[in-house]
Amino acid sequence: MDNKKVKIKVGLASCGIAAGGQEVYDEIDKYISKNDVDIKLEKTGCIGMCYSEPLVEIKDDSGQTMYGNLEVDDVENILNKHIQKKEPEKDKIIFSDEFGGTEKKVLKNQTRIVLENCGKINPESIDEYLAQDGYKAIEKVLKEMTHEDVIKEIKESGLRGRGGAGFPTGLKWQFARKPETDKKYVICNADEGDPGAFMDRSVLEGDPHRLLEGMLIAAYAIGADEGFIYCRAEYPLALKRLRLAISAAKEKGYLGKNILGTDFNFKINIYEGAGAFVCGEETALMASIEGKRGMPTIRPPYPANSGLWGKPTNINNVETYSNVAWIIRNGASEFTKFGTEKSKGTKVFALTGKIKRGGLVEVPMGMTLREVIFKVGGGIIDDKEVKAVQLGGPSGGCIPKNLLDTPVDYDSLTETGAIMGSGGMVVMDETTCMVDMARFFLNFTQDESCGKCTFCRIGTKRMLEILNRITQGDGKEGDIELLENLSHKIINNSLCGLGQTAPNPVLTTLKYFKEEYEDHIYNDHCSAGICKSLFQYFITDECIGCGVCKKKCPVDVISGEQKEKHVIDQANCIKCGECFNACPVDAIIKK
C-alpha cells in the first residue's frame, strides 16, 4: 500500500512531452532524490488543457493543485514553496481545490465519460485503472448478462458510432451477433487521420485499458474471440502504452483464455497502419490488415456479415468503445440523461485553430457551438471575431458565425451541411480566407485519394486546380458553377466515404461565403489578406524611417534613408509579413 502523503503527477501525453514535460518530470525526480522528500512521482495522460502544458499536479493534505506552463527552472522554486513551506506559487496555479485557479471553469463546463480517467491515472498502471472501477463492467457482463442483454443495454443507451457516421452501436452489434460461424472479429479503428484531430490518440495515451474493456464487452456480445486495434504508426506513445496495457491485462486474466474463470476467450492484436487516410474507411482498413493494398470495396456485403477474412466483423472507433464500460457499469438510463433525443451521451472534440484554450474537451451532446467555443474554449485569440468553425475534418464543412447557436448533435450539424465527424473542431477568425481553407482541405483529400474511383481521383484534382487558380488571382467566369458541378458528381459516383465527402468543405464555403469566391475571381481581392497573389504590403506616410522593417526583411527589398519614408520593392517582395509585424508605428498596411 502506498502511504506517501504527497503525490505528484506530470502530464506526459504527446502534448506534454512536446511542451517539455519529460524534462520537468526528470527535474522533479532529481529534486526528490536530492532533498530526500517523501513524494510519489507518477506520469499521467492528457487532461485536455494542452494550451497549458507542461502540467504538474500536486496532491497533499490541502487537496489537489495543478500548475501549468512550467519550465525546468520553475520546479525547485514551486516544490520548495508548495511542499516545504506550504505556500503554493499562486501565479502558476491553473486549478486548485483551495485556490480555484484560472482554468477551473474549463472542466466545470464539461461532462467527462470517455475522458474521466485521462489526466488522472497513470496509463501504464493497470492497478490505477482497477482502482477507478476498471474491468468491473466486463466482470458484470460475464457473470450477470447474456449476449443479448449486453446488446439490449447498448441499444437502449442510444450510443451512436463516434467515428463520424453516427450509426447506432447496439444495432451494429446485433447485426454482427446474428451470423452463426466458427470465427468472428472485433476491430478498433484507431487510424485517426483528420488534420487537427487527436481525440483517439489522447485516449490511447491516457487510458488504454478503457478501450480494451470496451472491446472485450463487444467481443462477448457478438461472439468474437479475436480483435485487432488498427493504429497508425505515427502514434508511437499510444502504441507503447497499448502494448503495456495488453500485457498487463493478460497477466491479470482479463485477456486470453477462460477470462475470469469463464469459457470466454479473447485476444487482441495491434496492427500498425502506414498513415494512409483512406484506411480509416472500414473496408480499406480490413484489406490493410489482410496484407492487401488499403483500398475500399463495394458494400454489401457489410462487415457484420462478411468482414475480416470473410468472417463477421464489428468495427467501431476508440471513442465509441470507450463509452461502453461506463454504460454497462452505470446503466443505459444514466447515459441517456446526457445529450438530446437522437444524440445521447457526450462527444469528445479536439479544439484547434484560433482558440484561446486549444486542447481536448468532452461536452454533452446538445451544447451549442457557441458554448463550446466561448465557455469551454475561452473564445478567440486576441478577442477577434469568430468567422467560422470547421467540423468533421476534410470530410466535414464550415459553419459560419451566424449558426454558432447550432446544437452539437448529429442531425443539427448535418442540416448545416457539415458533419459531426470524429471530433475535430477547427475555429477560424476574421483573418481566415475561406477559399484558401477549402483549398487546404481539398488538397489533403486529393492527396490521400487511393485512386480507385475515377471521379475521386480525377475530379478532386480538377477541383483543386480551380481552387489554386482562384487563390492565385487567375479565377474566371464559371469557376463557381464548375466547382459545384464537379462536387455533386464526385459525391454521387465515389465508392467510399473519402470521395463522397471530399467536396464538403468547398460546398459549405460556397454556401456560406460565396462572396469571398466572387471577390477573388472578379475583384482580384482576398479580404483576409491570405492569398499572396492578391495583396501587397505598402509603407504609408506614417513611416518615421526607423529602419526596423528594413532590418527584419529576409530578402532585402526595403530601401530608404534614416528618418525618411521607406519603400518596398513589390516585384521582389515575398510577402512574408515580417515588416508588417515589426513596424513600431503601424505604418505598413496590407491591401
Which tens digits make up the pLDDT trace of 79-123?
999 888 888 888 888 888 776 677 777 788 899 999 999 999 999
Residues in the chain, total: 591
137 and 267 share one domain: yes
Please check the confidence at residue 12 and state whether its pLDDT lies above 60: yes
Please check the confidence at residue 4 and state whether its pLDDT lies above 80: no
292 and 396 share one domain: no
181 and 132 share one domain: yes
Average pLDDT in the chain = 93
485 and 506 share one domain: yes
Q: Which amino acid, residue 60?
A: D
The secondary structure of 50-90 as a DSSP string is GGG-S-EEEEETTEEEEE-S--GGGHHHHHIIIIISS---G
pLDDT at 525 (0 to 100): 92
Please check the confidence at residue 38 and state whether its pLDDT lies above 90: no
321 and 352 share one domain: no
Residue 366: CATH number of its domain: 3.10.20.600
Say how far apart CA 265 and CA 257 lie, in whole Å. Answer: 4
Q: Which amino acid, residue 255?
A: L
Average pLDDT value for residue range 412-438: 91
Which tens digits make up the pLDDT trace of 112-159?
999 999 999 999 999 999 999 999 999 999 999 999 999 999 999 999
Please check the confidence at residue 3 and state whether its pLDDT lies above 50: no
What residues make up the domain containing 493? 434-523
Specify whether the CB–CB gap between 164 and 422 falls below 8 A.
Answer: yes
Buried b (16+ CB within 10 A) or exposed e, 259-283: beeeebebebebbbbeebbbbbbbb
Please check the confidence at residue 262 and state whether its pLDDT lies above 60: yes
Which tens digits make up the pLDDT trace of 181-230?
999 999 999 998 888 888 999 999 999 999 999 999 999 999 999 999 99
Is 264 a member of any domain? yes
Question: 208-222 and 136-144 are packed helices; what angle lies between their axes, rounded to 10 degrees?
Answer: 10
> pLDDT exceeding 90 applies to what percent of the chain?
83
Chain CA centroid to CA 266, Å: 29
144 and 220 share one domain: yes
Predicted confidence band of residue 549 (pLDDT cuts 50, 70, 90): very high
Q: Which amino acid, residue 220?
A: Y
Please check the confidence at residue 45 and state whether its pLDDT lies above 60: yes
In the numeric block, the cell 484560472 is attached to 102
137 and 257 share one domain: yes
Q: Which amino acid, residue 373?
A: I
In the numeric block, the cell 444514466 is attached to 334
Is 188 a member of any domain? yes
Look up the pTM and report it: 0.92
Please check the confidence at residue 528 and state whether its pLDDT lies above 70: yes
pLDDT at 1 (0 to 100): 36
Is 322 a member of any domain? yes
pLDDT at 514 (0 to 100): 97
Which tens digits make up the pLDDT trace of 465-479?
999 999 999 999 999
Say how far apart CA 211 and CA 197 lie, in whole Å. Answer: 18
Is 113 a member of any domain? no
474 and 506 share one domain: yes
Last residue of one domain, picked from the residues 42, 69, 103: 103
Strand ranges of the sheet holding 424-429, from the earlier edge strand across to the other edge: 359-364, 346-353, 424-429, 386-391, 397-400
Strand ranges of the sheet holding 56-60, from the earlier edge strand across to the other edge: 39-44, 6-11, 56-60, 63-67, 93-96
Number of domains in the chain: 5
172 and 301 share one domain: yes
191 and 310 share one domain: yes
pLDDT at 585 (0 to 100): 94
45 and 98 share one domain: yes
